[in-house]
Chains A and B, each alone.
Chain A
Amino acid sequence: MSTGRSILLKEDGNRRFQAGDYVSAEALYSKALIADPTNPALYTNRAMARLKMSLWESVIADCNECLKLDPDSMKAHYYLSQAHLPLHNYDEALEHALKAYGMCVKTADKSLSSVTAQVKRCKKERWDDLDKRRRRETSDLEREIYVMMERERDEALSSDPDLRDGERQEIQTEWARKMDTMRDVFEKSRAAHEQRRKVPDWAVDDISFEFMRDPVVTKTGKSYERASITEHLRRNNTDPLTREPLYLSELRPNIDLKQACDDFLQDNGWANDW
């Protein structure tokens, strides 16, 4: 084991990493690990390079090795979360993101904001995945119901061999109508579902939390729905963000944002009553 040699190799690796040459960096970290397999930071460094190379399974292996040597490695948990997410291991990804987050809070680590973003990403993707599964289940159910309805209709048609053509026609029409109704019901539930889809943050007023229709901009460059900011200024002539004096007469319409909001609504009718 040669600690000095290992450190030199690691420094070389760091330089390659900084230069964006992740493949060389990864190889150098591997050599450093052969020279000194007891340095936990070498595992997280290699994991970081492997993250860039999308080698998720190897990232997980490295982080686990690191945690054996140093159970309090924030980076190991952070990278584990990043590797589990693309593998669709949502629970693990979130668990490790939360662990990293807790550690960041404890040590006032400068990665706090990026780790927070990772926590949110995990929650979001997990929710999206659930949502996708729910949709798939609904469409499977829908298909099954049509098959059952068709079977029911065919049974009604074949149960009595003495049916006259008019009666047969009636049964056909009635079932066709029922199936149309069912299709309508599913369509409507899908539309309701769409309403829960996301409205972009830039279109949301931070006071009313509603989709902006008439955004106005303050001196700080922040836009609000005119009604909301007016209501606020009626009681308190301060900028909501900076608490600096702010008067109604200083507000200006944000024409481009309004245009963007209108365009978004045009393609996303469901957001109209959001």
Chain B
Amino acid sequence: MPPTAQFAAKRVAKELQKITNDLPPGIKLVEAENFEEWLLDIQVLDDNPLYKDQTYRLKFKFGSSYPIEPPEVTFVKLPDRPIPIHPHIYSNGIICLDLLGQQGWSPVQNVESVCMSLQSMLTGNTKNERPPGDEEFVRANRLRPKDIDFYYHDNNV
């Protein structure tokens, strides 16, 4: 393991320790078998009719440079876990949130704070719609969110 990957694993392990007993309401850890990929469930706690009584599944992928680099966060579609409707969430689960991009990310962010940001992103939304060009994007897109980022900001990888 390169030294940075070890750094990432340690940090992810610490986060796990911290959140196992203590997550804010509406956020639940579903699976954290390793330090690369976690699953969490989130719910919106207010009465927003777009998201009321729904639970959404999130997938976090931690790269070897986490938390210096953001984790890759997407919604996952399951029979009982839809993709929330939102002008910044594509129907394949890809999320456009500056916090999760190279520019908006900060290493003091963490799984809990990202989940809370997504909760409030949903809470504040009133538009029952997908991003413009969703259908085409989803049809054409075979890239991971990180690669799309790369598309927009040249980050000398």
* A-to-B contact residues, CB < 8 Å: 98, 101-102, 105-106, 116, 119-120, 123-124, 127, 206-210, 228, 231-232, 235, 238, 240-241, 243
Say whether B68 contacts A231, CB under 8 Å: yes
Say whether A123 contacts B15, CB under 8 Å: no
Q: 27 A–B contact pairs at CB < 8 A?
A: A98-B25, A102-B25, A105-B25, A105-B46, A105-B123, A106-B45, A106-B47, A116-B24, A119-B24, A119-B25, A120-B22, A123-B22, A124-B22, A127-B21, A207-B67, A208-B11, A209-B10, A209-B110, A210-B11, A231-B7, A232-B68, A235-B68, A238-B106, A240-B107, A240-B108, A241-B106, A241-B108
Q: Distance in Å from the Cβ of B21 to the closest Cβ of chain A?
A: 5
User: Which chain B positions have C-beta within 8 A of A124?
Assistant: 22
User: CB within 8 A of B107: which of A101, A119, A207, A210?
Assistant: A207
User: Which chain A positions have C-beta within 8 A of B110?
Assistant: 209
Say whether A106 contacts B46, CB under 8 Å: yes
Chain A CB within 8 A of B127 CB: no
Say whether A101 contacts B11, CB under 8 Å: no
Within 8 A of A (CB), among B22-44: 22, 24-25
Chain A facing B: main interface SS: helix
Say whether B10 contacts A210, CB under 8 Å: yes
User: CB within 8 A of A228: which of B21, B69, B107?
Assistant: B107
User: CB within 8 A of B21: which of A123, A207, A238?
Assistant: A123
Chain A CB within 8 A of B14 CB: yes
User: Known interface pairs A105-B45, A243-B106. Does A209 touch B18 (Cβ–Cβ under 8 Å)?
Assistant: yes
* B-to-A contact residues, CB < 8 Å: 4, 7, 10-11, 14-15, 18, 21-22, 24-25, 45-47, 67-69, 106-108, 110, 123
CB closest chain-B residue, reference A231 = B68
In order of increasing CB-CB distance, the 10 nearest A-B pairs are: A209-B14, A207-B107, A240-B106, A105-B45, A240-B108, A206-B108, A106-B46, A232-B107, A209-B11, A101-B25
Q: Distance in Å from the Cβ of A181 to the closest Cβ of chain B?
A: 30
Say whether A207 contacts B46, CB under 8 Å: no
Q: Distance in Å from the Cβ of A270 to the closest Cβ of chain B?
A: 14
User: Which chain A positions have C-beta within 8 A of B21?
Assistant: 123, 127
Q: Distance in Å from the Cβ of B17 to the closest Cβ of chain A?
A: 8
CB closest chain-B residue, reference A229 = B107
User: Which chain A positions have C-beta within 8 A of B15?
Assistant: 209
Can you name 18 extra interface pairs (CB under 8 A) apart from A106-B46, A207-B68, A209-B15?
A: A101-B25, A101-B45, A102-B25, A105-B45, A105-B123, A106-B45, A119-B24, A123-B21, A123-B22, A127-B21, A207-B67, A207-B108, A208-B10, A209-B110, A210-B11, A231-B68, A238-B106, A243-B106
User: Which chain B positions have C-beta within 8 A of A241?
Assistant: 106, 108
Bound Cα distance A127, B19 (Å): 13
Residue among A101, A127, A207, A240 with max Cβ neighbours from chain B (10 Å): A207
User: Which chain A positions have C-beta within 8 A of B4?
Assistant: 231
User: Which chain B positions have C-beta within 8 A of A206?
Assistant: 107-108
User: CB within 8 A of B7: which of A101, A105, A119, A208?
Assistant: A208
User: Which chain A positions have C-beta within 8 A of B47?
Assistant: 106
Q: Distance in Å from the Cβ of A199 to the closest Cβ of chain B?
A: 10
Bound Cα distance A120, B25 (Å): 10
Bound Cα distance A61, B10 (Å): 48
User: Which chain A positions have C-beta within 8 A of B18?
Assistant: 209
